[in-house]
Structure 1
Amino acid sequence: MKKLFLCALTALAFLGAKAQDAQNTIKINPLSALLSTGSVFYERKINDGISAQLGLAYTGIKLEDVKFTGVAITPEVRFYLKQKAISGLYAAPFLRYQNYTVTDGTDKGKYNSFGGGALIGRQWVYGSGFVLDLFFGPSYNSGTYKATQGNNEPDIKGGIEGFGIRTGIALGFGF
């Protein structure tokens, strides 16, 4: 899977248009690996000041004794401030849907949540096609847990439930 992803990114870099005229970016967040999570983002320019981005993540994170395994989908709209999309300072409201299997000792269940937040970020698209995206902002998620094994509900926290911070560094290619 990793080899296929890297091959696709390389092909897009060589086949894409000039980076200054980039209409799309594909990025990964290397910091998410520290949290046992893999995430990929696709951004598309809509007009000179606005783009849309879709993020997909898969996690196997363990917070204390509680393990979360599953996916998150994060759509966002980016409003570029005084620069043309897709390179510059931006503000971005986002939504997030999470679907996890939760394991806490012998108890197991399903957790689904919906939330959102707002980001401030800065993205650079260099002439070579390399993209650097830095972002930070508050988030809130609220969900439901349904036990499939056992009766105890785990303590769901750590930004997965309630208030949290969404931050990251994304690296990729513009085309």
Structure 2
Amino acid sequence: MKNIVKLFCVMTLLVFTQFANAQEDTILDDPTLVYDSIQTESPSRHIIKLNVPSLFVGTLSFQYEFFPVNFMSISLGYKFTPKRGMVFEDKVIDLIEDSSGIDNLESTGERFFRDFEFSGNAITPEVRFYLGQGYGKGFYLGPFLRFDNYDFSSNYNFTTFEDQYLIDFEGKYKGFGYGLNIGTQFTIGKHFTIDTSLGPYFSNVKIDFNSVSDYNLSDAEMEQLREELSDFELPNGDTEITLTNNSARMKLTSDNFFNLRFNLGIGFRF
């Protein structure tokens, strides 16, 4: 994590230097800009935004953006997800079947995805550098960090030759990531903005599943359960499973898992 923070700081410093030099060269090439900036009324330095696509998946996502100087902003995003089921669960099942080689996931793990519920939040600090009019107008690059924290629960239908068990699972999802937003923002009227961006995002993920029950599994049943649970895995990740006769723990980790972060925000500036 320390190396990622260092990389974020270096990337931010490099972008800051390039944009600062670009702004300085622009002023030197056209000295009248200095006079014009003095005569012009100070622009609004604060924007509060709502991420529209998040609403379609049951999540509230907000961002506050502040402009200490014309070409740079500091922002903090907060995303909250109330307790809900899995989004696009049928698509998720099809995707896992294709990637894992399981012919019929519905006969083994469908109950887990149907009963899956989760809630949590994410915090995203970001530094943006605007090339253009400044103060939140035009093209920008935005290095960012992201911290995710979610709780979840579900049931797993475990069937053996002799019996059938419904195993209750609870767990936690923790993620830390970094990336670069590439986007543009423009103002409608005096107070409203539209912000759209798309950029790479790399995340380090840790997921813990835990279950304690009244069941007393045999050694053969434990081995069968271990084989079934081993089908749960993350890209570029490891799976660690610990079983006893009446408990199960599964730990999934993934490093530098690649994502694309898309944003379409409507904002109010003041």
Could you say which TM-score interval applies, normalised by the shorter chain?
0.7 to 0.9
**Greater radius of gyration (CA):** 2
- Structural mapping, 1:72-91, within 5 Å: 72-91=122-141
| Contact 1:70/1:101, CA 8 A, preserved across alignment | yes
Q: Where does the alignment leave 5 or more consecutive residues of structure 2 unmatched?
A: 1-40, 90-112, 156-167, 213-225, 236-253
The 8 Å contact of residues 110 and 148 in structure 1, kept in 2 or not, is answered as no
Matched, 1:33 2:73: no
Distance 1:80 1:133 in 2: 12
* Paired position in structure 1 for 2:223: none
CA positional deviation for 1:141: 1.1
Within the candidate set 62, 68, 92, 2:86 is matched to 62
- Decide whether the 8 Å contact of 1:91 with 1:121 is kept in 2: yes
SS of structure 2 residue aligned to 1:32? helix
Structure 2 equivalent of residue 94 of structure 1:
144
Change (3 A) 1:73 1:118: same
The equivalent residue for 1:129 is 191
**1:21 match: secondary structure:** coil
Equivalents in 2 of 1:114, 1:23: separation in Å?
Answer: 29
Distance 1:118 1:47, change over 3 A: same
Identity of aligned residues (%): 34
Determine if contact 2:43/2:135 at 8 Å carries over to the other structure: no
How far apart in 2 are the matches of 1:104 and 1:81? 47
Counterpart contact for 1:37–1:61, Cα < 8 Å: no
User: CA-to-partner distance for each residue in 1:73-95, whole Å, 9 max, x for gaps?
Assistant: 00100000133121111000110
Letter in 2 for 1:43: E
Instruction: Give the structure with the larger strand fraction.
Output: 1
8 A contact 1:138–1:163 mirrored in 2: yes
Q: 1:80 to 1:145 in 2, by over 3 A?
A: same
Give the 3-state SS of the residue equivalent to 2:56 in structure 1. helix
2:45 matched to 1:23? yes
Number of residue-to-residue matches in the alignment: 154
- Over the aligned positions, Cα root-mean-square deviation in angstroms equals 2.4
Normalization by structure 1: what TM-score?
0.78
Q: Which runs of 5+ in 1 are unaligned?
A: 1-18
Deviation at 1:62, TM superposition (A): 1.3
Q: Distance in 2 between matches of 1:71 and 1:155?
A: 23
Say if 1:35 and 1:61, in contact at 8 Å, map to a contact too. Answer: no
1:111 corresponds to which of 169, 173, 178? 173
Matched, 1:165 2:252: no
Determine the structure 2 residue equivalent to 1:71: 121
Structure 2 residue aligned with 1:53:
75
**Cα distance in 1 between the residues matched to 2:143 and 2:120:** 23
Which fold has the larger relative contact order, with Cα–Cα distance below 8 Å and residues 6 or more apart in sequence?
Answer: 1
Q: Which amino acid aligns with 1:119?
A: N
**Of Structure 1 and Structure 2, which has the larger fraction of its residues in helix?**
2
